[in-house]
Structure 1
Amino acid sequence: MSNRLFDASVAPAAVPEADARGPWAYLWWLVRIRPRPLVLAAVLGALWMVPLALVPLVIGRAIDEAGQDAGQAGLYLWSLLALGLGVLQALAGAGLIQAAVGAEAHALSVTHRVLMRQVVRVGATLRSKARSGDVAASAAADVESIGNAFEVVGRTVGAVVAAVLVAVALTVTSPVLGLAVLIGVPAAVLGIGPLLRPLQERDEEQREQMGIATSQAGDIVAGLRILRGIGGEAVFAERFRRTSQQVRRAGESAGRMEAWLQAAGVLLPGLVTVGIVWFGARLALDGTITAGELVAFYGASAFLTLPVSTATEAAETLSLAKVAAGRVCTLLQLTPATVRPDHPEPLPAGALALADTGTGITAEAGRLTVVTAPADRAGGLADRLGGPGTGGAAAEVRLGGVPLDRADPAEVSARLLRSGPADILFSGTVREELTAGSARPGPALDQALFAADAADVVDALPGGLDARLDEGGRALSGGQRQRLILARALLAAPDVLVLEDPTASVDAHTEARIVARVAALRAGRTTVVLTDSPLWQGAADRVVRLDGQPVPGSTDRSAGVPS
């Protein structure tokens, strides 16, 4: 059911087209489409950080006022100013948290939505274009890394503003000290730079190994029953163990580089602080500055470790975000199998014929056509006939006389449906699974379950239609899953239904019931069944081989004469 499940009409709420030319372009696009949260976070970050930078200067001035004989009025005034700065910092800090979380949520939400939209666009061909582990890791780890980068922006802007303010204030008091700050702080930040590129490379390696491990884990979980049957559990477990060890080693390598980065973030600003305090103490001993100014210098220099550590965190976070955005862009650059033509041809109303000029197969409108094909070619044939996004022969396949490459993919998806062994059941209630979350009439649902001989499957579940299915319907047998998938396809009631071995996992008695009921339910609508089953061939209006020729001895029931 790949076409209907990945119909563009069920895409998430519209968001602008993402700029996927590169990681920085994508991050800047996130900023452009909604700058308000980041601007607010930057303003509040400055209002939060600046009072913290000014408090040492105010305390130093209060100390000098206390040492004078002019009374206590000045001391009280500067003390009240320090209190006011503390209140401002508290209020700005509360607002900063909300603004930063809002910016982070914006990046998380939009990235999730553009990834989901891309999955919908690429559709069933996504599995052949990207590893499932890469998609899962992007939807989890990569999105989180991008969100973290947006969260740190407000604090980083505030740190830069506060550092500049402190440098200016120290320069006014002592040009030499101000110059030391203006040179020392940027030097400390730049000293971290050489560590960023190795960190980024190791993060990329870890991310690649995580994608591989996630894909292998998904394969093992999905095929656990098969692995037990062939005795391959130990082999695949050992394979996953080796991959997980590679992930661990890549993580340890990245962690060591992060540790060096954090150490540099402490050491370099610490050296700047020691130098400024030592020089300020010399000036105080010489009488060039007062005791209060020395305290202000010490407090300001100690404060400078915060902007530098914040800059270190921002550099590390942006490095991780760049890697994550690059992975997201890789997925966004995948191209769908089909593109809507500029001037699509509308499909005719009513029953539709399905013809493939490449193979010579023709399914006449409103009839049940059975196509016999070798097992190794049935899947490829189903891909050709299954509509847009599933094959490369859209120009050779005609639906109602219109080549698929000239039709609107959305209209084709609404009127042509392919269902086969690759279809899966999703987690949720049985009712939601069968109706794809939309409200469908009760009688139509009952008829679909009856035709697929799946009513007993539903009745056996605790809660019936309201019973919850695990991912992939793991608790069901292969035959039960196949019957529910067939019921889902029948309930969709497309004008053309292509079924690939719809009864391969059921016994002959059940298959006989399904064949008769599906033929009755689909009467007057075009149905194509790819199977070698004699039961389907016996119920078909027409049976053809893969080369398009009638099967010897088959009967064309609509004409009433042997084919």
Structure 2
Amino acid sequence: MVDTRGPARLLWSLLRQRPGLLLLTAVSGALWMLPTAVLPLVVGAAIDSGIRAGSVPALLAWAGVVVLLGFTQAAGSALLTWAAHSSWIHGAETSQRLVHDHVVRLGGTTTRRVGTGEVVTAGGSDITEVATFFEVTGRLTGALVSFAVAAVAVLYISPLLGLIVLIGIPLATAGIAPLLIPYQRREEVQRERFSAVTSMAADIVAGLRVLRGLGGEARFRRRFQERSERMRTAGVAAVRAESWLEGAEVLLPGLVTVLVTWLGARLALNGTISVGELVAFYGISAFLVIPVSTATEAANSYAVALVAADRIRDLLNLEPDAAAPPHPVPLPPGALDLQDDELKAPAGQLTVIDAGEGGSALAERLAGHPVGGGVLAGGVRLADVEPAELRRRVVLVHNQDPLFSGPARAEVDQGTPVPVDTALHAADAADVLAALPGDAELDELGRSLSGGQRQRLVLARALCADADVLVLDDPTSAVDAHSEQRIAQRVRDLRSGRTTVVLTQSPLWKAVADTTPGGTP
């Protein structure tokens, strides 16, 4: 289980799912960077005990230590590379699986409560940012361990220089920290605009045929270009803040190195420290730029990962609309009536409601999306019905519901007593299958079809479901009047004895209706 009470908790709960990999990453990070921290001390000792003292054995011994450090670092680097890549894969795979599984569990709730671009971004760039933070954790551990070892060494050699290093480097790092706040804010803005552009792109692609037919392609292209330009501006602002971070992480520790080198040279001249110790101090102070830079990179990656984790957390915290009641009540058999405080759809009849702009919301409420309110079906509250039974017996169809790629007849066929050809005839959609290329194959989302063709296939699929209650949200809004008249009459005949609710302003549906209640409640 993951902890979604906060973005930091989410990241940590993902990390600790593989404690062995986390430990291996930390150990390999230390083995990778620690030899570099120790190397200046070894070189300093070789100068004092080998070169200055004229001892060849001592010099060779210290040279052997340098070689050993090199082999250790090579092994640590190879191990860290494997562990870091494994951590990246773990972060990406685990995050992607969480998002995918939860979106599947949400079902129709996703499209009603989250934008398409938000889901795409959470399943794409956000997952990458989380994985990138996982990848840098090993190098961060190595930076912290090597910094601690270097700190002990410099304090032992010269407390004065050691204090300068231990105080100066953290202060330099602290000087970088204020730059992280505007960078994180600009990353959030850039991420939000990226999500908006992605959502718009998905909408344009889905409606490209309609836009071309209405002559609106150029207008939407301009709008997409404007949003893309705003996203680019936000991206440039984020990169500008990042460049300040990278400059500060070199400048501030570099000033500490200059100070240590100048003061160390004066101490060496008056004999307080040896030449070897001066070399060691210079090497360590120069080396400390690496762990500081690594720590800054990790802080930067963590700031971006927090933004991404927060977005993923928002998605994971969404709950499906239809939660199973603790004590489900079965619906009575046969045709069902629908009613609430202000309207009623009699059982077994065709009810047409002129709901205007509120038609989609009313359709969802009547069908129990989400379950709640005072809507009754056969005298039973929808909120008290098991979701699986409710979705089987009360079917909601929007006029923009998607079609899946594959054989068109298989897409329509629901395996019920209503034959596919009968449903296609009632929806006036037999010609749609005849016009499809090849073996009546649908492409993704049926994008090669016109809006009216898609609506007729969606309606045929709904009729095949043979539901006790069928709620249709403006099912023929993109169909010509002659076809709509045929569809309305045929649906009435096919659905005779079953409850059908149609929310539309079309007079052709009202002409064949059994009942026509008033407008939106």
Per the shorter chain, which TM-score range? 0.7 to 0.9
Unaligned ranges ≥5, structure 2: none
For residues 312-391 of structure 1, the aligned pairs below 5 Å read 312-334=296-318, 336-348=320-332, 350-364=333-347, 367=348, 369-374=349-354, 376=356, 378-389=359-370
Q: What number of residue pairs does the alignment pair up?
A: 518
Q: TM-score, normalised by structure 2?
A: 0.84
**Matches of 1:435 and 1:279, distance apart in 2:** 83
Q: Are 1:133 and 2:99 an aligned pair? A: no
SS of equivalent to 1:247:
helix
Aligned to 1:469: 443
SS of equivalent to 1:152:
helix
**Matches of 1:440 and 1:32, distance apart in 2:** 46
User: Do the aligned residues in 2 keep the contact of 1:60 with 1:293 (CA within 8 Å)?
Assistant: yes
Bigger Cα displacement from structure 2, 122-131 vs 399-408: 122-131
SS of equivalent to 1:372:
strand
What are the Cα deviations for residues 272-304 of structure 1, in whole angstroms up to 9, with x where unaligned? 222223333333334444444333333222221
Q: Are 1:544 and 2:519 an aligned pair? A: no
Bigger Cα displacement from structure 2, 300-309 vs 318-327: 318-327
What are the Cα deviations for residues 189-209 of structure 1, in whole angstroms up to 9, with x where unaligned? 111112112222222232333
**Matches of 2:149 and 2:465, distance apart in 1:** 66
- Partner amino acid, structure 2, of 1:500: D
By how many angstroms is 1:262 displaced? 0.7
- Partner amino acid, structure 2, of 1:546: P
**Matches of 1:161 and 1:300, distance apart in 2:** 14
Structure 1 vs Structure 2: percent identity of aligned residues?
A: 48
By how many angstroms is 1:62 displaced? 3.6
User: Do the aligned residues in 2 keep the contact of 1:47 with 1:88 (CA within 8 Å)?
Assistant: yes
**Matches of 1:433 and 1:58, distance apart in 2:** 74
User: Do the aligned residues in 1 keep the contact of 2:355 with 2:503 (CA within 8 Å)?
Assistant: no
Aligned to 1:267: 251
Aligned to 2:411: 434
- Partner amino acid, structure 2, of 1:429: G
Q: Are 1:94 and 2:67 an aligned pair? A: no
Indicate the RMSD between aligned Cα atoms, in angstroms.
3.8
By how many angstroms is 1:212 displaced? 3.3
Q: Are 1:403 and 2:381 an aligned pair? A: yes
User: Do the aligned residues in 1 keep the contact of 2:28 with 2:138 (CA within 8 Å)?
Assistant: yes
- Partner amino acid, structure 2, of 1:250: A
Q: Are 1:108 and 2:92 an aligned pair? A: yes
Distance 1:106 1:451, change over 3 A: farther
Bigger Cα displacement from structure 2, 485-494 vs 160-169: 485-494
What are the Cα deviations for residues 128-151 of structure 1, in whole angstroms up to 9, with x where unaligned? 544443343333333322222222
**Matches of 1:292 and 1:250, distance apart in 2:** 50
What are the Cα deviations for residues 503-534 of structure 1, in whole angstroms up to 9, with x where unaligned? 55446776687678767876886555556779
Distance 1:103 1:458, change over 3 A: farther
Give the one of 157, 165, 187 matched to 1:173: 157
**Matches of 1:468 and 1:72, distance apart in 2:** 81
Give the one of 411, 414, 421 matched to 2:399: 421
User: Do the aligned residues in 2 keep the contact of 1:448 with 1:487 (CA within 8 Å)?
Assistant: yes
**Matches of 1:359 and 1:499, distance apart in 2:** 19
**Matches of 1:505 and 1:514, distance apart in 2:** 13
- Partner amino acid, structure 2, of 1:373: I
By how many angstroms is 1:165 displaced? 0.6
Aligned to 1:8: none
User: Do the aligned residues in 2 keep the contact of 1:62 with 1:292 (CA within 8 Å)?
Assistant: yes
SS of equivalent to 2:124:
helix
**Matches of 1:141 and 1:502, distance apart in 2:** 36
Aligned to 2:134: 150
**Matches of 1:379 and 1:153, distance apart in 2:** 48
Distance 1:106 1:493, change over 3 A: farther
By how many angstroms is 1:104 displaced? 3.0
**Matches of 1:478 and 1:503, distance apart in 2:** 10
For residues 168-317 of structure 1, the aligned pairs below 5 Å read 168-317=152-301
SS of equivalent to 2:401:
coil
Q: Are 1:499 and 2:467 an aligned pair? A: no
By how many angstroms is 1:453 displaced? 5.4
User: Do the aligned residues in 1 keep the contact of 2:399 with 2:474 (CA within 8 Å)?
Assistant: yes
Aligned to 1:19: 4
By how many angstroms is 1:66 displaced? 3.7
By how many angstroms is 1:158 displaced? 1.0
Q: Are 1:48 and 2:26 an aligned pair? A: no
Distance 1:492 1:45, change over 3 A: farther
User: Do the aligned residues in 2 keep the contact of 1:266 with 1:309 (CA within 8 Å)?
Assistant: yes
User: Do the aligned residues in 1 keep the contact of 2:2 with 2:13 (CA within 8 Å)?
Assistant: no
- Partner amino acid, structure 1, of 2:244: W
User: Do the aligned residues in 1 keep the contact of 2:398 with 2:473 (CA within 8 Å)?
Assistant: yes
Aligned to 1:4: none
- Partner amino acid, structure 1, of 2:146: A
**Matches of 1:494 and 1:36, distance apart in 2:** 52
Distance 1:432 1:260, change over 3 A: farther
Aligned to 2:432: 457
SS of equivalent to 2:400:
coil
User: Do the aligned residues in 1 keep the contact of 2:345 with 2:351 (CA within 8 Å)?
Assistant: no
By how many angstroms is 1:96 displaced? 2.0
Distance 1:30 1:354, change over 3 A: farther
Distance 1:462 1:39, change over 3 A: farther
**Matches of 2:91 and 2:117, distance apart in 1:** 22
User: Do the aligned residues in 1 keep the contact of 2:345 with 2:501 (CA within 8 Å)?
Assistant: no
Bigger Cα displacement from structure 2, 145-154 vs 238-247: 238-247
By how many angstroms is 1:308 displaced? 0.7
- Partner amino acid, structure 2, of 1:357: D
**Matches of 2:23 and 2:493, distance apart in 1:** 64
**Matches of 2:178 and 2:53, distance apart in 1:** 53
- Partner amino acid, structure 1, of 2:298: A
User: Do the aligned residues in 1 keep the contact of 2:350 with 2:492 (CA within 8 Å)?
Assistant: no
SS of equivalent to 1:418:
strand
- Partner amino acid, structure 2, of 1:469: D
Q: TM-score, normalised by structure 1?
A: 0.79
User: Do the aligned residues in 1 keep the contact of 2:353 with 2:501 (CA within 8 Å)?
Assistant: no
User: Do the aligned residues in 2 keep the contact of 1:351 with 1:524 (CA within 8 Å)?
Assistant: no
User: Do the aligned residues in 1 keep the contact of 2:190 with 2:238 (CA within 8 Å)?
Assistant: yes
**Matches of 1:237 and 1:535, distance apart in 2:** 36
Unaligned ranges ≥5, structure 1: 1-15, 549-563
What are the Cα deviations for residues 152-209 of structure 1, in whole angstroms up to 9, with x where unaligned? 1111111011111111122222222322221122111111112112222222232333
